Structure 1
């Protein structure tokens, strides 16, 4: 785990290293119990990671396993590649300053003294080291068992240069925002420099664009998500979630695939 002090939220992050070792909790009992969860809610799993961080690959591998195991459950994985590691020898091609700012916002919401990688936040209110398997499984189980505070439906269509998303949010209430993430399901990079230099890293659920949508009183509408330059929509999906602006708690979530053949 690599930890970074927050010097100014609006300005972003300054790299100040306090290194501790990340660890992984495994156990067949945890896996068995996780597979028997009675589902009524959902789990939005946000991983903050970087190809420049040597502690991050185990967390990437963990969420990849979770993705396969929970393919039939409302578990929504979002991998945000932060950009503050880029200055240390390797520029992560999936990184964005916007994702660093989002992690910084969680530090405010959750009263953290610093941010770090790999970090996971589940449903906007529980955070921990991203490679802690037992903690992640327990947090997902808790989210799946909890009654959701709202509802969300999405319908995404691939059109010329963007993804058009029809949405309907129920029970969102005031002081909430709909966030729509364009997610690349798989990616791989041969890292040339930095802490992971010489390694080929695989990723899942890579966020390529994140858009905020102000909800009207009816909670319905259509939003357009721009496609990055030179980006193919094949192998992608849209994940949306409704988040409280004051606390960070996530009230509802959903996802939608789209037919790449509808592009025109």
Structure 2
């Protein structure tokens, strides 16, 4: 597990690698046996920060896949961001992006966390957990599903050549909130040749391939165009929208786009 000290946030993000030591000091909690039904109430957004270069990350990705299977039909939304700061340790992650490392550092500031690490999961923008801590994540999901949100979001998306046209409507959102549109590849396999996972074949789920932010207007309505990855296809990918309070980091609303073909 890699830990990163947060040094500061000015016009950009400054991070430095501290160690490869295991992250310790987490409180033990009692595990919930299953994910509760949403029942029209709350939602749970799990954002996993991971890397193919991190030997502690495959168990977290396996847990994410397990939750994905169990959460079908429930208001549980999963996103896996492959950070790029592991790319200097011998293996460049095909799905990594500096943008996802910056998002993780921003969460460090929102949550007043002295460090970030992989695998790390943020739940609804409000709390962070070790990504492989199944009891803690199950409890967090159950707790968030029981909280009725005040805001709502609806999305419609249509592919137009190499782009995606998105129409959205958000209600009851905080001033200064933004809409984040995530283009997500549902599954992929990678063979890792170097680094901590050398020789392993890794299975990934819910890989964020593109993340685009747009400030919300006062009425919460609008449209956006997102340039799609070249290998995008509607069958094996999905489009998620998140409304996020830019002052606190809290996810206020979430929706999966109804994707219409041309």
Alignment of 1:5 onto 2:27: no
Q: Give the TM-score, by structure 2 length.
A: 0.92
Alignment of 1:15 onto 2:11: no
- The unaligned stretches of length 5 or more in structure 1 are none
Q: Distance in 1 between matches of 2:115 and 2:207?
A: 23
Q: How many angstroms does 1:257 deviate by? A: 4.6
Please list, as runs of the form range in 1=range in 2, the aligned pairs for 1:192-211 lying within 5 A after superposition.
192-211=193-212
Secondary structure of the equivalent of 1:5?
strand
Please list, as runs of the form range in 1=range in 2, the aligned pairs for 1:27-38 lying within 5 A after superposition.
30-32=32-34, 34-35=35-36, 38=39
* CA RMSD, Structure 1 to Structure 2 (Å): 1.9
Q: Is the 8 A contact 1:186 1:205 kept in 2?
A: yes
Q: How many angstroms does 1:11 deviate by? A: 3.7
Q: How many angstroms does 1:216 deviate by? A: 1.2
Alignment of 1:77 onto 2:78: yes
Give deviations 1:199-220, integer Å, cap 9, x for gaps: 0001111000101111112111
Q: Is the 8 A contact 2:13 2:105 kept in 1?
A: no
* Aligned length, in residue pairs: 257
Q: How many angstroms does 1:256 deviate by? A: 1.7
Secondary structure of the equivalent of 1:237?
strand
**Runs of 4+, deviation exceeding 3 Å:** 35-39
Q: Distance in 2 between matches of 1:14 and 1:89?
A: 17
Alignment of 1:112 onto 2:113: yes
Q: Which residue of 2 aligns with 1:255?
A: 256
Secondary structure of the equivalent of 1:31?
coil
Structure with higher strand content? 2
CA 1:50–1:193 in 2, change beyond 3 Å: closer, same or farther? Answer: same
Q: Which residue of 2 aligns with 1:87?
A: 88
Secondary structure of the equivalent of 1:210?
strand
Q: Give the TM-score, by structure 1 length.
A: 0.92
Q: How many angstroms does 1:37 deviate by? A: 5.8
CA 1:212–1:69 in 2, change beyond 3 Å: closer, same or farther? Answer: same
Q: How many angstroms does 1:99 deviate by? A: 0.3
Q: Is the 8 A contact 1:182 1:237 kept in 2?
A: yes
Q: Which residue of 2 aligns with 1:149?
A: 150
Q: How many angstroms does 1:38 deviate by? A: 4.5
Secondary structure of the equivalent of 1:7?
strand
Q: Is the 8 A contact 1:53 1:196 kept in 2?
A: yes
Q: Which residue of 2 aligns with 1:60?
A: 61
Give deviations 1:183-230, integer Å, cap 9, x for gaps: 0011110011000010000111100010111111211111111112x3
Alignment of 1:102 onto 2:84: no
Q: Distance in 2 between matches of 1:222 and 1:250?
A: 20
Q: Distance in 1 between matches of 2:195 and 2:132?
A: 20
Secondary structure of the equivalent of 1:205?
strand
CA 1:36–1:184 in 2, change beyond 3 Å: closer, same or farther? Answer: closer
Q: Distance in 2 between matches of 1:11 and 1:103?
A: 10
Q: Is the 8 A contact 2:3 2:23 kept in 1?
A: no
- The unaligned stretches of length 5 or more in structure 2 are none
